[in-house]
Amino acid sequence: MGRGRVSQGAGRGGASGNQPSRVSPRPGAPNWQAFQSGGACGGADEGTSRSERGELLAWGEESRAEGTPGQSGGKCAPRKELAGKPVQQQVCWILGDTLRMLMPVLLVLSFCLRGRAGLAPHFLQQPEDQVVLLGDEARLPCALGDYRGLVQWTKDGLALGGERDLPGWSRYWISGNAASGQHDLHIRPVELEDQASYECQATQAGLRSRPAQLHVLVPPDPPQVLGGPSVSLVAGVPANLTCRSRGDAHPTPELLWFRDGIRLDGAIFRQTPLKEGTIGSVESILSLTPSSHDDGATLVCRARSQALPAGKDTAVTLSLQYPPVVTLSAEPQTVQEGEKVTFLCQATAQPPVTGYRWAKGGSPVLGARGPMLEIVADASFLTAPVSCEVSNAVGSANRSTALDVQFGPILQAKPKALSVDVGEDASFSCVWRGNPLPRVTWTRRGDAQVLASGPTLRLPAVGPEDAGDYVCKAEPGLSGRGGGSAEARLTVNAPPVVTALHSAPAFLRGPARLQCLVFASPTPEAVVWSWDEGFLTAGSRGRFLVETFPAPEGLKGQGPGLISVLHISGTQESDFHRGFNCTARNRLGEGGTQVSLGRRDLLPTVRIVAGVAAMAMTLLMIITGVALCCWRHGRASASFSKQKNLVRIPGSSDGSSSRGPEEETGISKDQGPIVHTDHSDLVLDEEGALETKDPTNGYYKVRGVSPPTSPDSCVTSLQLKSPGIFNLQ
């Protein structure tokens, strides 16, 4: 490719600092001892080396072989051929030979003189190490002083040639004024293969510059994020994002992660080498656990190196799949009991929501679907919150809220009945729930005086007079609802209280019954009846029998009641004059009372019974007579003719006074007397009274018989005179 190669034996590192190295003599040049010994020029300047002298001698040999320049015909004839030749040719040979002998000496003298005068070739500027981007232009400077010979460049020891255009190297050329010693090497565009070590060499002066290293930087390609430009992740699930850079980037780029311009740390950097030992690709793995707030976030992977300090970015957008994010609200938040309230369940989710589930206090609300729930509030909503659960394909989320429900007092714990001994303290409590908190007062039944306020009533050192029912009362709330009262009984344990019950008087030698009522807390161990000659607790003894059974209702606050009955069969005279004692005992003491038996005589009772029987008989006869009268006149009303007030006597059709035997009895077997009225028999007196003639001539006295107004009417005024016992008016 070049015009020649510089011998590697000359030694690359032979020149140190700015001292140029020497070029080896041309091959085939004789090594003259006169010049190698250093005696030429009478101790020539140290600047002329053996190699320079050898090159000059080699040039002299070439001149001798080529002949003396300037002669026509070219070369002079050799010495053997001069024999017998003309003198002219012999002179030519002698002059040429002389010239060949003097020319090396002249050249040596010229170099010696020039060395003594300080005109030896040297470098004015040598190339430096350079860093250049791929595709840019590289310029390696080289300037020589006091040198007019051949200058060439080498690349990793390979000669590029001495021509300015460097044939065979299309992207290489040498620029500058050669006469002034400027020989700059240009490369454009720079490729990766141009990265090498370059030298500028003055061939004929045997000078070599120091090596200049050309570094070619290859900028990285834009990195690639696997799965981009949009990466789908699941919120709450750890994930890895991988950023990879491929190509022939030089040097190897570093990969960085950024979010909103802020660098993210913690990424893992990894290189993948190729078989030849070069880097095939690099990648950076970023580990993260995304949340729903990262949805739509943009992450940037940047590949940068010395070749591209600003780097190249690749952005990726996070597309988060996350369970619903739920917000639950109630309108209104504060509500009166019985009012309607609306719950609204809003959710954001990716993928979209698939279902809603409502619950109250952990129990599903039947029939509730969708993001809205309308319901009537009650007191339970204060402690049983409403929850909304929203689901999608990724998962579900639940939110709950409690209402501020205002409601009237509700009794949660009733006061409990107490039984305490005399002198001890008693304490009642009751619990009311309400919003706002209700006002609770304590009173005693039948008494309006407030004994205490609040959930507790305390009675110190109670006595029998404190026994009774106590009332815990709560006022209704603002809405007028709720409220009420609850009672509890205080029983004061004390000795029994025995009271004699009324006992009916008894007949002599008849049965008798004596009773006493016992109140005791605790329950008495026994109830004992005693009299002069003995006592009895239960069962029978002679004429006496004792029965004990619970009273229908106990005396409030004094424990349960007992009724004890002493039965006496066949009373005696002494029973009416003695006292019978009823006594009861419990652990706190004893109580008792005396019961007397009253006596009842027989005579007053008989008189009363006889009087009652007589009155009953009389009343029965009156009722029978009235019924008979009504029956007779009911029969008579059916025989009235169209002519009123006609009286007909049975057995006589012409008005005679004769009667048959049946007429004397007044009632026929088949029919009773029929009374007929006729206008001829009626006489109207002056006062307008209707009189009826007596067709019986006084046997029957009829006074004012008036026709009944209806078939069911009885005679209003009738006197029946007959020789009987009763006289009905």
pLDDT of residue 47: 37
For residue 84, give the amino acid letter.
G
DSSP state of 583: E
As given in the structure block, the two tokens for residue 379 are 């007191």
**Domain 502-596 sits in CATH 2.60.40.10:** yes
- Cα separation, 529 vs 539, in Å, equals 11
On the question of pLDDT at 49 being above 80, the answer is: no
User: Average pLDDT in the 302-326 region?
Assistant: 89
Q: What is the CA radius of gyration of the chain?
A: 77
Question: What band does 625 get if pLDDT is binned at 50, 70 and 90?
Answer: confident
Residue bearing the bigger pLDDT, 476 or 304 = 304
Sequence-distant (6+) residues with CB within 8 A of 412 are 431, 432, 433
- Cα separation, 226 vs 214, in Å, equals 36
On the question of pLDDT at 113 being above 80, the answer is: no
Q: pLDDT of 679-701, one tens digit each? A: 333 333 333 333 444 443 443 34
As given in the structure block, the two tokens for residue 71 are 């002669």
For residue 508, give the amino acid letter.
L
**% pLDDT > 70, the chain:** 68
User: Average pLDDT in the 577-589 region?
Assistant: 91
pLDDT of residue 295: 86
Q: Is 229 helix (H, G, I), strand (E, B) or coil?
A: coil
- Cα separation, 78 vs 112, in Å, equals 32
**% pLDDT > 90, the chain:** 32
For residue 584, give the amino acid letter.
A
- Helix 87-116, helix 50-66: angle, nearest 10: 160
Please state whether the peptide bond connecting residue 251 to the residue before it is cis, i.e. omega within 30 degrees of 0.
Answer: yes
User: Average pLDDT in the 388-409 region?
Assistant: 90
Q: Quick check: 120 and 114 in contact, CB under 8 A?
A: yes
Q: Quick check: 138 and 213 in contact, CB under 8 A?
A: no
pLDDT of residue 602: 67
DSSP string, 586-639: ETTEEEEEEEE--B--SHHHHHHHHHHHHHHHHHHHHHHHHHHHHHHHHHHHTT
Among 477, 471, 582, CA closest to 520:
582
Question: How many residues make up the chain in this entry?
Answer: 729
pLDDT of residue 406: 87
DSSP-derived pairing of the beta strands 122-125 and 143-145? antiparallel
pLDDT of residue 183: 93
Total Cβ atoms within 10 A of residue 664: 8
As given in the structure block, the two tokens for residue 632 are 């007779």
Q: Quick check: 668 and 635 in contact, CB under 8 A?
A: no
Total Cβ atoms within 10 A of residue 315: 13
On the question of pLDDT at 617 being above 70, the answer is: yes
- Cα separation, 324 vs 352, in Å, equals 8
Q: pLDDT of 79-90, one tens digit each? A: 555 556 666 666
Adjacency order of strands within the sheet including 268-273: 224-225, 239-246, 279-288, 268-273
Q: pLDDT of 485-542, one tens digit each? A: 999 999 888 888 899 998 889 988 899 999 999 988 888 888 999 998 788 888 888 8
List the beta strands (DSSP E) in 188-307: 197-202, 207-208, 212-217, 224-225, 230-234, 239-246, 254-259, 262-264, 268-273, 279-288, 298-305
User: Average pLDDT in the 416-429 region?
Assistant: 92
Residue bearing the bigger pLDDT, 479 or 689 = 479
- Cα separation, 353 vs 373, in Å, equals 17
Total Cβ atoms within 10 A of residue 160: 21
Helix (H) or strand (E) holding 133: strand 130-133
As given in the structure block, the two tokens for residue 406 are 């205002």
- Cα separation, 559 vs 550, in Å, equals 11
**Of the listed ranges 51-55, 76-80, 136-140, 436-440, the one predicted with least confidence:** 51-55
Total Cβ atoms within 10 A of residue 221: 16
For residue 614, give the amino acid letter.
A
pTM: 0.42
Q: Is 651 helix (H, G, I), strand (E, B) or coil?
A: coil
Among 720, 638, 705, 708, CA closest to 671:
638
Sequence-distant (6+) residues with CB within 8 A of 459 are 425, 426, 427, 466, 490
What fold does the segment set 122-217 form as a domain?
Answer: Immunoglobulin-like (2.60.40)
Going from the C-alpha of 616 to that of each of 25, 604, 610, 613, 626, the distances in angstroms are: 185, 18, 10, 5, 16
pLDDT of residue 632: 78
Among 459, 527, 464, 467, CA closest to 494:
464
As given in the structure block, the two tokens for residue 95 are 């002059």
**270 HSE (CA, 13 A, CB side):** 10
The tokens 């690639």 sit on which residue? 224
Superfamily (CATH) of domain 224-320:
Immunoglobulins (2.60.40.10)
- Cα separation, 442 vs 485, in Å, equals 9
As given in the structure block, the two tokens for residue 173 are 């050329």
DSSP state of 175: E
Among 152, 172, 171, 149, CA closest to 162:
152
pLDDT of residue 639: 54
**Domain 409-492 sits in CATH 2.60.40.10:** yes
On the question of pLDDT at 626 being above 60, the answer is: yes
Q: Quick check: 93 and 75 in contact, CB under 8 A?
A: no
- Cα separation, 348 vs 337, in Å, equals 32
In terms of average pLDDT, the best of 14-28, 65-79, 187-201, 636-650 is: 187-201
Q: pLDDT of 278-309, one tens digit each? A: 556 788 999 999 887 888 899 999 988 888 88
Question: What band does 75 get if pLDDT is binned at 50, 70 and 90?
Answer: very low
Adjacency order of strands within the sheet including 334-336: 334-336, 404-413, 431-435
Q: pLDDT of 162-192, one tens digit each? A: 889 999 899 999 999 988 899 999 999 999 8
The chain-wide mean pLDDT, for the chain, equals 75
pLDDT of residue 104: 64
**Of the listed ranges 74-78, 352-356, 630-634, the one predicted with least confidence:** 74-78
Q: Is 643 helix (H, G, I), strand (E, B) or coil?
A: coil
Residue bearing the bigger pLDDT, 603 or 350 = 350
In terms of average pLDDT, the best of 183-187, 401-405, 548-552, 558-562 is: 183-187
When the candidates are 2.60.40.10, 3.40.50.720, 3.40.50.300, 2.40.10.500, the CATH number that belongs to 325-406 is 2.60.40.10
Domain with CATH 2.60.40.10 in the chain: 122-217, 224-320, 325-406, 409-492, 502-596
DSSP string, 445-511: TTEEEEEEESSEEEE-S--GGG-EEEEEEE---TTS---EEEEEEEEEEEEEEEEEEP---B-TTS-
Estimate to the nearest angstrom the gap between the alpha carbon of 710 and the chain centroid.
Answer: 92
